[in-house]
Amino acid sequence: MKALSIGTNQVEYVEIETPIEEGHIKVKVTLAAITHADVALSMGADKDKLPRIGGRIAVGLVSEAPESTGLMKGERVLLSPYRDGKVRGLDIDGYLSEYAVVPMDCVYPLPEGVTDRDAIFAELIAVAVRTIDKLNVQDGEYVTLLGTDYLSLILAQLVDYYHAIPIIVANEDEGLQLAQDMGLTYCIDKRTTDVLSRIRNITGGVMTDCTVFEGLHPVDPQLAIDATKMLGRICIVGTDGYIGPIQADLSNIMRKRIVLTGATNGGRNILTAINLLATEALHVDFFQPKTIDFEQAKDTLEILSTTPNFNGLVLCRID
């Protein structure tokens, strides 16, 4: 069985065996994601974890399953990014392979209305749900989101779903246009607008209740502190720890008595994410990640390792 292995300064296809353990399910992987974590590893981050099969999340078809699981051969399933507190593709091998053998609690049947492509976004949605929970976002609160990456725009939809008010701040045309296409009311272009004055105007002078920024996004994190009101909350979000150093004057956190937290894991919210997709409470069809075949994955990962600030997804079809 062919898989994509990330080694120290080397990415290669390898042949691996996947014996079926008791209580496990064998899945034919059909669609997997290449993420920022795969790129970081290919660039030499966490060399002690290498070599590693990449790919933290995938969709596939059940190939073999114990009768007790209730899963039928050929049933579509989502494969969890997490196992026993460990992250696929980082701490343990991931899903960039033709088949995967996984424990029962790492397999989620997909409703008919959720496409394979949309299901790949389930982890980002789950992390967004986790972020909302950690910030304890309330009805009518203002939530400023720094950036227009996939996670930030999913968060904006979720903030609106929970009857709070999202404010997007970014500095690139494509992301701001996408935010507007999604129907988000408050989209601030950092390049042409005094951001703090605009947020002050939107919020009636009190500033934002919560501020969120994705650790990879090139927006000054000092804005998160300056835009947040007294006794407000800030969350740094991401799906891995490869965010690089964050420079900001923390004195205003103390003066304003701001609560600072972080969110990187959505493991307990995968089912919620699938349900949000199934009920069309959230939409990810706005996003257009690149899609490749498995045979292109090696070259693609090598190219991405030279791409500054990559923090999106590349979808990989596996026949």
Peptide bond into 51 cis (omega under 30): yes
Percent share of the chain, pLDDT over 90: 78
Torsion of CA 304, 310, 313, 315, to 10 degrees: -20
Q: What is the pLDDT of residue 219?
A: 67
What is d(CA 229, CA 219) in angstroms, rounded to the nearest whole number?
19
Three-state secondary-structure class, residue 210:
strand
Give yes or no for residue 205 having a pLDDT over 90: yes
Antiparallel, parallel or unpaired: β 86-87 and 82-83: antiparallel
Q: 94 or 216: whose pLDDT is higher?
A: 94
The alpha carbon of residue 267 and the mean position of all alpha carbons in its chain are separated, in whole angstroms, by 12
Q: 163 or 18: whose pLDDT is higher?
A: 163
Give yes or no for residue 125 having a pLDDT over 80: yes
Q: What is the pLDDT of residue 217?
A: 65
- Distance (Å) of CA 115 to CA 63, 130, 230, 285: 19, 23, 43, 10
Arithmetic mean of pLDDT, 115-140: 97
- Polymer length in residues for the chain: 319
Q: What is the pLDDT of residue 155?
A: 97
Q: What is the pLDDT of residue 8?
A: 81
pLDDT tens digits, residue range 222-271?
899 999 999 999 999 988 877 777 778 889 899 999 999 999 899 899 99
What is the DSSP-derived secondary structure letter of residue 66?
Answer: -
What is d(CA 129, CA 273) in angstroms, rounded to the nearest whole number?
8
Which CATH number among 3.40.50.11690, 3.20.20.70, 3.40.50.2300, 3.90.180.10 corresponds to the domain 2-120+287-317?
A: 3.90.180.10
Q: What is the pLDDT of residue 218?
A: 61
What is d(CA 134, CA 128) in angstroms, rounded to the nearest whole number?
10
pLDDT tens digits, residue range 48-62?
999 999 999 999 999
What is d(CA 51, CA 95) in angstroms, rounded to the nearest whole number?
14
pTM for the predicted model, two decimal places: 0.95
The DSSP H or E segment spanning 237 is strand 228-237
pLDDT tens digits, residue range 262-317?
998 998 999 999 999 999 999 999 999 999 999 999 999 999 988 777 878 999 99
Residue whose token pair is 């991401």: 238
Three-state secondary-structure class, residue 316:
strand
Name the CATH superfamily for 123-263: NAD(P)-binding Rossmann-like Domain (3.40.50.720)
Arithmetic mean of pLDDT, 67-75: 91
pLDDT tens digits, residue range 258-276?
999 999 899 899 999 999 9
The full set of domain ranges for the chain reads 2-120+287-317, 123-263
Q: What is the pLDDT of residue 319?
A: 87
Q: What is the pLDDT of residue 246?
A: 77
What is d(CA 53, CA 62) in angstroms, rounded to the nearest whole number?
20
Per-chain mean pLDDT for the chain: 93
